[in-house]
Chains A and B, each alone.
Chain A
Amino acid sequence: MNENEFRDRLRGALGEPPPLSSPVFTPSSGGARAYPRGMAVLAFVLALLLVIVLVATRVAMRPQSTNLPATKPSPVAQAAPDSFPCALPVDAVSVAENPGQNPAMSVSLGFVNIPAGGFQVDPSARVGDLPTGGAGYAGFYSAELKRWVPASTRTMSPDGRAYVYIALLPPGASYSNFTSSELHVVDVATKADRKVWTSRDGIEMLGWDSAGILAATVPARGGVRLLWRIDPAGGGVSPAPQDADPTHAPFTALPRVSNFSYLGTDTQGRSVFRLGSRDPGVKYSVVIVQSGQVTTMYTGVVGDSTDFDPQAIYADAHGLWLGNADGALVWLWSPSSASLRSFKVSGLPPAPSGYAYTNVSFGPAGECVPGVFTGAAATGLPPATSPTPSPPPPTIDWTSLTAKPLNLQSLPAGAPCPVSTQVDLTVKAQSGKWPNYGFGQAPGYISGQVMWYSAGPQGVVILIDPKYTGPVLVRTRRLDGEGLIAWSGQGSTSLSSDGAMGLPQTSSPPYWGTWAGSMTPSAPGCYGIQLDGTSFSSIAVISVSKGPPPPG
């Protein structure tokens, strides 16, 4: 199934939103809505009743077992913060994709040697001898047992000797048809698999720390999500408060922000959040929250020279390890000295050939073990295969096209914008669904939108009739003032600073050429878009309105 088919099925599954009313706001209320006084009393009574019902429900739903004390805090290796060299286990995920095809993925388990930064694959990283309940997890390296296990930092015990998996029943069931679920604890050394808890709801693993296992349950048909503390030794289960959820940002403790993201939680229960967006120039912080106390790890500006862009985390005696979004760095934050240190990473799986998009990302998968790891060099995904591999774009001599005259004349003052009329097309594409309309003249058409806006990028499609197969040069000019259109998208070549773009490959008869990307007009106004091929030249005129593009 390709992306477009999945998109259609998802939309069918979720349904289109019903007509929703516009939000209502009363400025004078200072944010609180103005309700009649009687409503407050009614709300209080209802809230009280609901609390009573919820407490009763939780007591009734509580499994019939005894609460046992939580496990003892696990010992943590007392390595000195600078006890290098050490080998940091990581799971490196390679993704490669061509438009209209399912992505190819592979996971390489291995180590990054610190401080040198070299990545080496661990050839002995096998987890098939341990139960997983059918779920496929990325690997976790247990330093205690010197082996990889089919778990994640979220499902691993604090001492690294056991892990949790969730089994859905009946055997072979999926989340769409299960009738109950089980929480299992596996002792890695003995491979003993113990069923610790059964629920008729779906169990979701949230974490395992010194206080025990934290899990959530959600009814099979959806509904109230409840949190539970589970004793891994005896199976005792007790309700946990909603704020025990480590992904729950404690807004009362955090500075007022409109944008945050959860990065992870360590075995001591400290959650790490990024506060602030990733827009260039925005000030952001990375903070650690524990018991409502906030510690700022780093404050900077997006795009600054530090390039601190953390993702997954893992804490050990060295400090807090963080992967970087671009996969190029590993970070170590030392709580004692409040210092942040980076290590450049090399030797990651190489990008496979024949794909339009490739990426490698990784995250820490266990504590950094003393010594230097020697394994195997990482191998990347195999090259793209049929049915539609993306060959490298041919080398094009664009000078013959750029030498063609630009036939986009300025409009007289006050003249209306001669917007191109919409043309109905019958587009037959090699894959995916494409618009069946366009603006311009054969064989090249601008499509993807019927209205154009000045604030922000918007999707655009260039359709090329299969009667033409060569390269196409795209140039633009605002016809009623100063302005240009910036283009971006895969498979295109930027040819000049004034926005000229080249499409090396267009149609492949009998299929139409389909290029999808984005365009950003610099200002509202009337724009001409000239498409030049070796045997044609066509023009489309669009009117760009002020404001951001509408959604959807």
Chain B
Amino acid sequence: MTALEGLTEANQDRPFADLVTPLVPAAQRLAYGMLQNAHESEDAVQEATFKAWRAFPRLREGSNLRAWFLTIVANECRQRRRNRWWSILKLGATVVEEPPHSGTAEDAMDLRRAVNRLPAEMKLAIVLRYYLDLPFDEVGRVLGVNGNAARARVHRALVRLRVEVPEMLSDE
């Protein structure tokens, strides 16, 4: 039984299942972009789905459901990023990287490391904007700021990435 089916049976609450089901792939994409670990991403989405269900009755009419749900997923990822003490075993299996075979692979590895080293809020802004292709207004809703501030935060993150991997992000 999936989470959403379970929720439906337990609560006769079709709206939650109907509305959240299409959002799960985006949630998984966000979690994977933030955590870069398939198992951890599944766990994060699992936990976020449950938290969303608990909070669902408080969701106001007219709220942006996708931003609301992605915010819960983002918060879950933030918590997991901080609470990494238990994830040594998982990380040990995932951080082994193949040596680069080409300039492109090496560049990609550099960029991945640089993005992973960004402060959590900057990384979230970059992932939301460029990995999930959200418009700035929606990026802002997830970050808890307005669209202009989200745009500024994305730009600050890009400026920092340009410092760290200038060869990747030059204008040339």
Chain A interface secondary structure, helix, strand, loop or mixed? loop
Q: Is the CB of A242 within 8 A of B82?
A: yes
Q: Does residue A80 face the partner (Cβ distance < 8 Å to B)?
A: no
Question: Bound complex: CA of A518 vs CA of B133, how far in Å?
Answer: 13
Question: Bound complex: CA of A383 vs CA of B87, how far in Å?
Answer: 50
Question: Bound complex: CA of A97 vs CA of B156, how far in Å?
Answer: 13
Q: Does residue A6 face the partner (Cβ distance < 8 Å to B)?
A: yes
Question: Bound complex: CA of A247 vs CA of B78, how far in Å?
Answer: 10
Q: Is the CB of B2 within 8 A of A22?
A: yes
Query: With A224-B91, A258-B52, A278-B145 as given contacts, are A548 and B22 in contact (CB-CB < 8 Å)?
Result: yes
Which chain A positions have C-beta within 8 A of B145?
Answer: 261, 278, 311, 325
Which chain B positions have C-beta within 8 A of A549?
Answer: 22, 66
Q: Is the CB of A7 within 8 A of B63?
A: no
Q: Does residue A44 face the partner (Cβ distance < 8 Å to B)?
A: no
Contact of B82 among A223, A225, A280, A457 (CB under 8 A): A225
Q: Is the CB of B71 within 8 A of A277?
A: yes
Q: Is the CB of B19 within 8 A of A547?
A: yes
Q: How large is the interface on A (under 10, 10 to 19, 20 to 34, 35 or more residues)?
A: 35 or more
Which chain B positions have C-beta within 8 A of A17?
Answer: 28-29, 32-33, 38, 41
Q: Is the CB of A552 within 8 A of B25?
A: yes
Which chain B positions have C-beta within 8 A of A394?
Answer: none
Query: With A7-B133, A25-B2, A176-B110 as given contacts, are A280 and B62 in contact (CB-CB < 8 Å)?
Result: yes
Q: Is the CB of B51 within 8 A of A258?
A: yes
Question: Bound complex: CA of A208 vs CA of B129, how far in Å?
Answer: 31
Total contacts A-B at CB 8 Å: 256
Q: How large is the interface on B (under 10, 10 to 19, 20 to 34, 35 or more residues)?
A: 35 or more
Contact of A222 among B50, B54, B95 (CB under 8 A): B95
Q: Is the CB of A31 within 8 A of B50?
A: yes
Query: With A23-B3, A258-B52 as given contacts, are A279 and B60 in contact (CB-CB < 8 Å)?
Result: yes
Task: Mark each residue of chain B from 65 to 91: 1 if its CB lies under 8 Å from any CB of chain A, else 0.
Answer: 111100110010000011111111001
Q: Does residue A54 face the partner (Cβ distance < 8 Å to B)?
A: yes
Q: Does residue A229 face the partner (Cβ distance < 8 Å to B)?
A: no
Q: Is the CB of B45 within 8 A of A20?
A: yes
Which chain A positions have C-beta within 8 A of B164?
Answer: 174-176
Interface residues of B in 93-118 (CB under 8 A from A): 95, 97, 104, 107-117
Q: Does residue A13 face the partner (Cβ distance < 8 Å to B)?
A: yes
Which partner residue on chain A sits nearest B119 by CB separation? A204
Question: Bound complex: CA of A93 vs CA of B156, how far in Å?
Answer: 10
Question: Bound complex: CA of A476 vs CA of B32, how far in Å?
Answer: 38
Question: Bound complex: CA of A17 vs CA of B44, how far in Å?
Answer: 14
Which partner residue on chain A sits nearest B112 by CB separation? A13
Which chain A positions have C-beta within 8 A of B6?
Answer: 25-27
Q: Is the CB of B110 within 8 A of A177?
A: yes
Question: Bound complex: CA of A549 vs CA of B22, how far in Å?
Answer: 8
Question: Bound complex: CA of A224 vs CA of B91, how far in Å?
Answer: 8
Among A9, A174, A361, residue most surrounded by chain B Cβ atoms (within 10 Å) = A174
Complex A-B: 24 CB contacts under 8 Å? A10-B115, A14-B115, A17-B29, A23-B50, A25-B4, A50-B86, A174-B164, A176-B114, A222-B95, A222-B116, A248-B82, A258-B52, A258-B55, A258-B72, A259-B72, A260-B75, A261-B144, A274-B144, A278-B145, A359-B148, A459-B135, A548-B23, A548-B66, A550-B22
Residues of B within 8 A of A (CB): 1-4, 6-7, 9-11, 18-19, 22-29, 32-33, 36, 38, 41-42, 45-46, 49-55, 58, 60, 62-68, 71-72, 75, 81-88, 91-92, 95, 97, 104, 107-117, 119-121, 126-127, 130-133, 135, 140-141, 143-146, 148-149, 151-152, 155-156, 158-159, 163-166, 168-171
